[in-house]
Amino acid sequence: MKFLLYVADFIIPFVIFLIVCYGCMMKVDVYDTFIKGAKSGFFTVIRIMPTLVGLMVAVGVLRASGFLEFLADMIGKFTQYIGFPGELVPLTVVKLFSSSASTGLLLDIYKEYGTDTYLGLIASISMSCTETIFYTMSVYFMTAKISKTRYTLSGALFATFAGLVASVFLAGIMTGAV
């Protein structure tokens, strides 16, 4: 186990070293290329900033207004029948929009229920195997100037549902609830 931790500490520096070596072998001005890429990334961040601010404000309003708790009570009645705890509905909804806001909710769940409980395990696993769909779609499609998303939303929602089912199943196995 210590070997894996040791290797993990060196993977990213090693990959960076390989990229620089490859660039030098191909006679590419690595530093100049890096600076151009960083400049382009900076302008991309500036272009997507209004979207980020809008999403963060929307999540803050939903959380402060009590709407997430209302939603948890309403939807939680139905999700209990399929094995998904209603207490995790706000986490799931917020995760669709903002990973950082959902991390705050995750910490609240840890404080209230614990990290090794059935709810804590489902929350942890679902955070790992779901995506911030609306954030990702808005940022990437806006940056790439894509207006027709086709099946992206339905596919992403299906993948999120599959991740939630997997999190309930895996947490059940880990706690002996299944």
Confidence band, pLDDT 50/70/90 cuts, at residue 88: very high
What is the average pLDDT score of the chain? 88
Domain that holds residue 125: 47-175
> What integer is the mean pLDDT of 16-29?
94
Contact between 112 and 88 under an 8 Å Cβ cutoff? The reply is no
Confidence band, pLDDT 50/70/90 cuts, at residue 178: low
Contact between 129 and 165 under an 8 Å Cβ cutoff? The reply is no
> What integer is the mean pLDDT of 104-130?
92
For residue 155, tell me if it sits in a domain: yes
> What integer is the mean pLDDT of 103-132?
92
For residue 23, tell me if it sits in a domain: no
For residue 132, tell me if it sits in a domain: yes
Per-residue confidence (pLDDT) for residue 154, from 0 to 100: 93
Confidence band, pLDDT 50/70/90 cuts, at residue 177: low
Contact between 92 and 127 under an 8 Å Cβ cutoff? The reply is no
For residue 96, tell me if it sits in a domain: yes
Given a cut of 90, is residue 53 above it in pLDDT?
no
Per-residue confidence (pLDDT) for residue 141, from 0 to 100: 85
**Number of folded domains that form the chain:** 1
For residue 103, tell me if it sits in a domain: yes
For residue 3, tell me if it sits in a domain: no
For residue 4, tell me if it sits in a domain: no
Per-residue confidence (pLDDT) for residue 97, from 0 to 100: 84
Per-residue confidence (pLDDT) for residue 138, from 0 to 100: 81
Given a cut of 70, is residue 157 above it in pLDDT?
yes
DSSP the chain: -HHHHHHHHHHHHHHHHHHHHHHHHTT--HHHHHHHHHHHHHHHHHHHHHHHHHHHHHHHHHHHHTHHHHHHHHHHHHHGGGT--GGGHHHHHHHTT-HHHHHHHHHHHHHHH-SSSHHHHHHHHHHHS---HHHHHHHHHHHTT----TTHHHHHHHHHHHHHHHHHHHHHHHHT--
Given a cut of 70, is residue 106 above it in pLDDT?
yes
For residue 73, tell me if it sits in a domain: yes
Per-residue confidence (pLDDT) for residue 34, from 0 to 100: 93
